[in-house]
Amino acid sequence: MLAFSGADQEIYDKGMELLERFVPEDAFMFTHVNPDVLFFITGGSEKHAIEACAKLDRVLLWSHDGDNSNAAATEVKAYLDKKHTFSLLWSIQQQGFANDVINFQQTLSATDKLKDQQLGLIGNVSEWLVASEISEKKLRERFGVFLAPISWDALRPYSDFEPSGNFMQHFEGASEDELEKAARVHHLMENTIEENHLDAITVECFPLVKQHAVTACLSLSLLNDMGIPAGCEGDLTSITGMMLSKALTGEIAWMANTVKIETDKVRFAHCTIARKMVRAYNIMTHYETGLGTAIQGEINAEKLTVFRFDSELKQAFISIGQVVDRPKLSNACRTQVDLAMPEEDIKKLQTHPLGNHHLFLPGDHRKLIELAVLWSGMEVI
């Protein structure tokens, strides 16, 4: 808590009363070392705030509506902006403040969860993903995640593995032979995750399809149902967002292609999706190759948060979509959804896209994701 020099105990008692009145219980603790939050009780506290921020690269500023608190906080915010120290300024009396604090707690928790997690890249980033490869250094700097590259040559052939029992119980609707092959792939994925102590994986799928006519689509679906973020095509940008969504909300986002853009809606599609995100599904072949197995599912949510990072982890696109159709067209990846989205956001997909694949979470998580990416040092476009 910050007040003018020489402030007596009554001033600090008043500050404590304000915190207890407006801040959710157990949402804060006091520290003199590297604080996440500075609370301005009065004006005249600017110098003290600058001293407290001297070694910080990001900080949350809280103010209230009296005693020149907002005046001091605004001055300090301007100073920090000039020094390129990231900060957010919230009044504890503003509407929605309690929810903002909860989101901030979730953001700090997610940041801690991601630190030192291991992300496995099986194979390479697919050659067509020219805007979706993140460097190991950038992943480590931004989210504390370690990248663990694993070549296909370093893995045993999928056919060496027995079919996974829980896989065979999880899926139905395909020929026994195709399901058995996909179950062997799943056993390979599980074994790779266990042996390498991975927290998430992204898989360059097409070598598996081209060489063995089998896909990882169903395995990735089941892994996501099991709470292990698992992405396709070696897309490092998407899997990073999937890891963040799990750390923030406990739910793993769905990854999908941008298929069709209209003035008022956008179609997205992909060949795999967690079963718990669909209300019904069929097992079909993989769209691009006509081989293996894939999921044609009907999204069960009516509203989806849409987001995407750039490959430098400097920018994020965040939007909201209302489901208007769940088509089953033959000329796109198997699970398809049409989303009505804000016109200005649809325009961004054409004028300033951050890449093809986008991520989708049931419900409206825009404020939470926005806070998390801002706190991580990214910009929301």
DSSP string, 103-160: HHHHHHHHHHHHTT-EEEEES---TT-TT----HHHHHHHH-PEEEEE-GGGSPPGGG
pLDDT at res. 27: 78
Give the DSSP H or E segment for 261.
Answer: strand 254-261
CA distance 161 to 164: 8
Q: How far apart are the first and last CA of the chain?
A: 33
Q: What share of the chain is helix, strand, coil (3-state, %, to 5)?
A: 40, 25, 40
CA distance 216 to 75: 54
Conformational region of residue 144, where left means phi above 0, alpha means psi within -120 to 50, and beta covers everything else: left
Residue 360: exposure state from Cβ atoms within 10 A (0-12, 13-18, ≥19): buried
pLDDT at res. 175: 82
Give the DSSP H or E segment for 75.
Answer: helix 69-82
Give 332's DSSP letter: S
pLDDT per residue, tens digit, the chain (381 aa), is 999 999 999 999 999 999 999 988 777 888 888 899 999 999 999 999 999 999 899 999 999 999 999 999 999 999 999 999 999 999 999 999 999 999 999 999 999 999 999 999 999 999 999 999 999 999 999 999 999 999 999 999 999 999 998 898 899 877 888 999 999 999 999 999 999 999 999 999 988 988 999 999 999 999 999 999 999 999 999 999 999 999 999 999 999 999 999 999 999 999 999 999 999 999 998 888 888 899 999 999 999 999 999 999 999 999 999 999 999 999 899 999 999 999 999 999 999 999 999 999 999 999 999 999 999 999 999
CA distance 363 to 381: 21
Predicted TM-score of the model (pTM): 0.94
